[in-house]
A and B are shown apart, each in its own frame.
Chain A
Amino acid sequence: MRIGQVIGTVTMNQQEAAFKGARWLVVNPLVAEQLNTACDVEPGLTRIPSVVIYDKLGAGENDIVGFVEGAEATAPFDEPTPIDAISVAIFDSIDHVPYPPEDDDE
């Protein structure tokens, strides 16, 4: 699962019948440098293209979410559902310790 920040929602007036009741989020994937502070300080936009994901968890604007892309995104559905990305987790905290370790200041 990739990690991204919710930066908006998508509403449609016409959509596939299987999407009834669906909620869609626009998510901007985060880069490594943003991970440690992402849950506390709003991370800025990255150059990574944003994606639209299906959301069942109720993630809101600026939440940091984990999302899965590809065939696995359809696994939660009983009926065939043509989606490609789904929210899986809303993160409370992320602890990132880069490797190789950066030069210690302390």
Chain B
Amino acid sequence: MLLCRVVGNAVATHSHPSLDGFTLLLCQKENEGGVPDGDPPFVAIDLFGAGMHQRVFVSTDGIGARGVVHDDHSPVRNFVQGVIDD
């Protein structure tokens, strides 16, 4: 699980069919203090409607992600697992 901040979103009309209907969020990895780690943002699918600049937990588990999109043949790995309050 990665501690991240939502820093945007991406739109793709052409994607793997398993991603249809999911919002694609740009996520920036952060440390516990909220400092970005310097890597470019990556894309995760969103289940909770996480808002801009909210902190989130992002899963890197492909098996879990395939369950989330209900497709055993989906190549997706990153999905927002929870929105952090505090």
**30 sample A-B contacts, Cβ–Cβ < 8 Å, listed by A number:** A1-B76, A1-B77, A3-B42, A30-B40, A31-B40, A32-B41, A57-B14, A66-B10, A66-B24, A72-B76, A73-B75, A75-B74, A76-B73, A77-B73, A88-B75, A89-B16, A89-B43, A90-B12, A90-B13, A90-B14, A94-B26, A95-B8, A95-B10, A96-B7, A96-B41, A97-B8, A97-B53, A98-B7, A98-B28, A99-B5
Contact of A1 among B8, B14, B43, B52 (CB under 8 A): B43
Closest 5 CB pairs of A and B: A89-B15, A89-B12, A72-B62, A96-B8, A90-B14
Interface residues on B, range: 20 to 34
Min Cβ gap B11→A in Å is: 5
B-chain residues with CB within 8 Å of residue A72 when the two chains form the complex:
62, 65, 75-77
Inter-chain contact A88/B13, CB cutoff 8 Å? no
For the A-B complex with A57-B15, A70-B77, A73-B75 known, give 18 more contacts whose Cβ atoms are closer than 8 Å.
A1-B43, A2-B43, A32-B28, A32-B41, A57-B14, A57-B16, A58-B14, A70-B62, A72-B62, A72-B76, A89-B16, A90-B15, A91-B10, A95-B9, A97-B7, A98-B7, A99-B5, A99-B36
B-chain residues with CB within 8 Å of residue A76 when the two chains form the complex:
16, 73-75
Inter-chain contact B12/A35, CB cutoff 8 Å? no
Chain B CB within 10 A, most for which of A68, A70, A93, A99: A99
A-chain residues with CB within 8 Å of residue B28 when the two chains form the complex:
32, 98-99
Min Cβ gap B47→A in Å is: 16
